Copies of this chain bind each other. A is one copy, B any other.
Amino acid sequence: MTTHLVTFDVVPEPVRVPSGSLLSEAAQLAGIEINQPCGGQGRCGRCVVKVEEGIIRRRSSLRLSQEDIAQGYALACQTVVESDVRVVVPPQERIERRLTTDLTVAEVTVPIGYENRLYQSIRRAYLSINPPSMDDQTDDLSRLTTALRQQVGFTSVQISLDMLRKLGPVLRDAEWEVTAVLDVHETLSGGGIEEWLIDLLPGKVYDDEPIWGIAVDIGTTTVTLWLVDLVTGQVKAQVSDYNAQIRRGEDVISRIVYASRNGGAEELRTLVLGTINHLLNLACKRVAGYTITPNDVVKATVTGNSTMVHLVLGIPAASIRLTPFVTSVNTVPLIRGREAGIKINPEGIVDCLPGVASYVGADISAGVFASGMDDSDRLILFMDVGTNGEIVLGSSEWLVTCACSAGPAFEGAGVVDGMRATKGAIEEVWINGETLEPSYRVIGGTPPRGICGSGLISVLAEMFMTGVIDKAGNLNTHLESPRVRLGEHGWEYVIAWSKQTEHKKDIVITHVDIDNLIRAKAAIYAGYTVLASSVGVPMQMIDQMLIGGSFGKYINIEKAVQIGLLPDMPWERFQFLGNTSVRGAYYALLDRNARERISDIASRMTYIELSADNSFYEAFISALFLPHTDLALFPTVAEATQKESTST
Contact = CB atoms under 8 A, between A and B. Distances in A.
Nearest to A333: B159
Interface of A: 132-134, 136-142, 155-159, 161, 164-165, 167-169, 172, 187-189, 191-192, 194, 313-316, 318-319, 323-333, 335, 339-340, 357-358, 607, 609, 612
Contacts of A326: 132, 137-140
A188 B324 contact: no
Contact of A328 (B139, B316, B339): B139
Contact of A137 (B324, B332, B333): B324
5 contacts: A132-B319, A134-B324, A155-B189, A165-B316, A168-B315
Contacts of A155: 189
Contacts of A132: 319, 324, 326
Contacts of A139: 326-331
B319 A164 contact: no
A333 to B, nearest CB: 7
A81 B319 CA distance: 91
Task: List the 5 shortest-distance A-B pairs measured between CB atoms, nearest first.
Answer: A156-B189, A168-B328, A139-B330, A139-B327, A132-B326
A329 B164 contact: yes
A325 B161 CA distance: 21
Given A158-B188, A319-B140, A332 B164 contact: yes
Most buried by B among A161, A335, A607: A161
Contacts of A172: 319
Nearest to A133: B324
A444 B604 CA distance: 71
Nearest to A306: B139
Contacts of A357: 137
A598 B44 CA distance: 80
A315 B134 contact: no
A389 B472 CA distance: 90
B189 A189 contact: no
A588 to B, nearest CB: 20
Nearest to A154: B189
Contact of A313 (B134, B137, B161): B161
A168 to B, nearest CB: 4
Contacts of A140: 319, 326-329
Most buried by B among A189, A194, A339: A189
A187 B141 contact: no
A637 B141 CA distance: 48
Contact of A142 (B134, B164, B330, B609): B330
A169 B315 CA distance: 10
Nearest to A359: B137
A189 B188 contact: no
Contacts of A315: 161, 164-165, 167-168
B328 A156 contact: no
A358 B137 contact: yes
A28 to B, nearest CB: 62
Contacts of A191: 156, 191-192
A141 B309 CA distance: 14
Given A137-B326, A191-B192, 19 more contacts: A132-B326, A134-B324, A137-B609, A138-B326, A140-B329, A141-B328, A141-B331, A142-B331, A156-B189, A159-B333, A161-B333, A164-B313, A165-B313, A165-B314, A165-B316, A167-B315, A168-B316, A187-B187, A189-B194
Contacts of A316: 165, 168-169
Contacts of A188: 156-158, 194
Contacts of A324: 132-134, 136-137
Nearest to A332: B164
Contacts of A358: 137
A248 to B, nearest CB: 19
A500 to B, nearest CB: 50
A136 B158 CA distance: 36
A333 B142 CA distance: 12
Contact of A189 (B167, B192, B319): B192
Nearest to A138: B326
A609 to B, nearest CB: 7
Contact of A607 (B137, B158, B165): B137
B612 A168 contact: no
